[in-house]
Every structure is written in structure tokens, then in C-alpha cells.
Amino acid sequence: MNELHIEGLTKSYGAGEPVLRGLALTVRAGALAAVLGPSGCGKTTLLRIVAGFLHADAGTVRLGDRTLVGPGVHLPPERRRIGIVPQEGALFPHLNVARNVAFGLTGTDRAERRRRTEEMLDLVGLAGHGDRMPHELSGGQQQRVALARALAPRPQLVLLDEPFNALDSALRTGVRSDVRAALRATGATAVLVTHDQQEALSTADLVAVVRDGRVAQCDTPQNLYRRPADPWIADFVGDAVLLRGTVDDDGTAVTALGAVPLADPPAGLRAGTVLLRPEQLHLTDVDSVGTVRGTVTDVSYYGHDAMVTVTVEGHDTPVGIRVAGPLTVRPGEKTGIRVVGEGGLHGDDGSPRG
């Protein structure tokens, strides 16, 4: 019912380079999609066009069975039934919490408005806070009220613009999961814009990586991390180890880290870049049989794990290895490296696997 369907969206500011170049994206009803991209990739422009604050040059935006943007069509924002949750909440400072939440509830009677307001505040865990003024709330509470305000008029779509950016990292995880729960409870389709790959992977059902005004890949968080479409995406969504490799007849790649089994080796591709994640590399004894040797250059310890940087002969840049257990190596020491699991192979032109 509330499926968001975007096609061929194009936008440029003045005579400058286009910001969106025929962007296409479909978010199924009730899903939470993250639009992930570096600054300047066009994700904010996309959000503003969907919300109705910007006019697109070309393309269509459909929500359910309604066309919001199309040739000759530009529905004004107030008629789109799209809720927005801006950065830092942006609550109306002159209205108390209850009146903020009730702001979008027009055309209903007072009792119904009050009931809906209380329901929404309850949903975001702020029941009884209706009389507070926005400045009396913490940052996380303001963000929850902003969500309640956006959800109150039962929008078909909710747009969240880096809503957790302003929060302390300690607070962020809690607010994030509460927001997700509230969105699930209402069944609204939601699009979260962010430049933080962790936020995208941990919050969304679906992640669309935007690059140069197009969706470079749109997939589940797990697929995106494990099977990125190209090395750039691999590196953007997480730490990556990228190695030159040639394909053997048995479907393994020969790399500086030895033979790496390939996941679905693409037909006909004989050489390319092999992608591994740092947690796929394990440290072993230097003398183990069949192991590749390297020299530890740096160790960064994080508590729950550590990143060990190792230089390997035949590979010009050091590789990162994530170590979960207790640390046994120090910079300057020799170590062995073993690869666990399969790698992904990418063509040299950056073309997607297989």
C-alpha cells in the first residue's frame, strides 16, 4: 500500500554538475530503508525532493498509488502525507510537547487529537511528558518527540534525516532501536538518510548506497557487507582487505595471502581484486605449515577487539586483521596469517562480480 517507488530522478542546481543522475529506488511497504552515501553524494537532495521541498528536473516519485512527482506533477509538501524527522528534532520551541505532537492532527476533534497524542507519546516512551517545553527535554527525548510528531498524522512514509547525528554515542544505540520499534509498530514505510555505515547496517532492512547521484547498490545489510558490488562499496560499508589475485582452475584465487576460495567465481574472469574482511584473517604461529608470513607494524586496541596491521611480502600496502581474543603480538614481531572463509572477486574495471 505504502510502497515508495522512485525512478529516473534527476536534479542539478543552476548550471552546475547534476546532483542526482537518474536515481531509482524502491522501498516496499513497511520497510525501513537506509540511504547511505558520503557527503555530497546527493542523498539530502533526494530526501528534499521526496518531501516536496525541492523540485526535481526529471523523474517520478510514487507513494502507494499516488504520484507525488512526475511530468507536470509536483504535489506540495503539505499534501504528500510524508512525515519528516530532521536532525536534532527541530521541535517547535514555542509549543509544548503535546502541542508539538498534535501539530499535524488537523481536522479531527479535540478528544481524538488528545487520544492520538497520548498514544504517540506512549509509543516513544514519553507518556506524561506532554506539558514539558522542548528545551526541558534531553537530546534523545527531543528526537523521540520529533518521531511521535511525524507519526501522529499516520503518514504513509517517514523520512529521517541523520536523526541520530547529534546524540552522544552512548545514547544513540538506545534511541535508534526505540525508533525502529516505533516505526515497526506503526507499519509506516521509512527512509533513513545517513553517512554512517554502522547506523545504516544496524538499523535498516534495506540499504541503498548512493554514489554520484545514483544508487550504486541496494541490498540487505548482510548482503551489502558480504557481497558488495564493487571494491569502492566494499570499502565504504566497512573495513576491507583488497588483494590482487589470479584465478586458478579450481575456483580459488592466488593472492599475496595465499590461495583464497572464491564465493561464486564469475565466469571468464581470470584476474582481479579479491575482497576479504579483516575478521576473515587470523593470526597464527610463524612456523605453522602453509601459512603466509608478515611483520606486525601497528596494533590498535579497542577492548572488545583489536586491529592488527601487518605488512606482507608481495603486497604493497599493509593489511588489517581484526583480533577478537587476547593480544599476543607486538609491533615488529613476525606473525603468520591464515584466511578463513571465501573472498569476493571483482574485475579490474570495478565491474560487479559475476
Contact residues toward other proteins (CB under 8 A) are 38-39, 44, 48, 51-53, 76-80, 82-84, 86-88, 90, 92-94, 103-104, 106, 149-150, 153, 161, 165-166, 169, 195-198, 201-202, 221, 225, 231-232, 235-236, 238-242, 278-279, 298, 300, 302-305, 307, 309, 315, 317-322, 324
| Helix extents (H) in 108-196 | 110-123, 139-151, 169-186
Q: Give least dist CB 268 to other proteins, A.
A: 25
Per the CB < 8 A criterion, the answer to whether 158 and 188 are in contact is: yes
In angstroms, the CA 123 to CA 144 distance is: 9
Closest approach, Cβ 111 to other proteins, in A, equals 20
Of residues 161 and 342, the one with the C-beta less far from other proteins = 161
Shorter beta-carbon distance to other proteins: residue 9 or 236? 236
Which is closer to other proteins, CB of 53 or CB of 128? 53
- For other proteins, the closer of residues 228 and 265 by Cβ is 228
- N-to-C CA span, the chain: 34
Q: Left, alpha or beta for 350 (phi > 0: left; psi -120 to 50: alpha)?
A: left
Percentage helix, strand, coil for the chain under 3-state DSSP, each rounded to 5: 25, 35, 40
Select 24 or 306, whichever has its Cβ closest to other proteins.
306
Closer residue to other proteins, CB minimum distance, 169 or 287: 169
Minimum CB separation of residue 175 from other proteins in Å reads: 15
Q: Are 161 and 86 in contact (CB under 8 A)?
A: yes
SS (H, E, C) 309-322: EEEECCCCCCEEEE
From the CB of 278, what's the least distance to other proteins, in Å?
Answer: 6
Find where cell 575456483 sits: 251
Least Å distance, CB 317 to other proteins, is: 5
Identify which of residues 166 and 329 has a Cβ nearer to other proteins in the complex.
166
Alpha-carbon span 252 to 249, nearest angstrom: 7
178/235 with CB nearer other proteins: 235
Q: Hey, what's the cell of 8?
A: 529516473
For residue 195, the 8-state DSSP code is S
- CA Rg, the chain, in Å? 24
At 352 the three-state DSSP class reads: coil
Q: Give the pairing of strands 258-261 and 252-255.
A: antiparallel
Give me the least distance between CB of 347 and other proteins, in Å please.
Answer: 15
Q: Which is nearer to other proteins, 8 or 177 (CB)?
A: 177
Give SS3 for 225.
helix
Closest CA to 266 of 341, 339, 347, 340: 347
Q: Which C-beta is closer to other proteins: that of 78 or that of 248? A: 78
Residue 186 C-beta: closest distance to other proteins, Å = 16
Q: In the complex, what is the shortest distance from the CB of residue 250 to other proteins, in angstroms, rounded to a whole number?
A: 26
Q: What's the closest the beta carbon of residue 193 comes to other proteins, in angstroms?
A: 10
Least gap, CB of 24 to other proteins (angstroms) = 23
For 69-122, the DSSP string reads EETTEE--GGGS-EEEE-TT----TTS-HHHHHHTT--SS-HHHHHHHHHHHHH
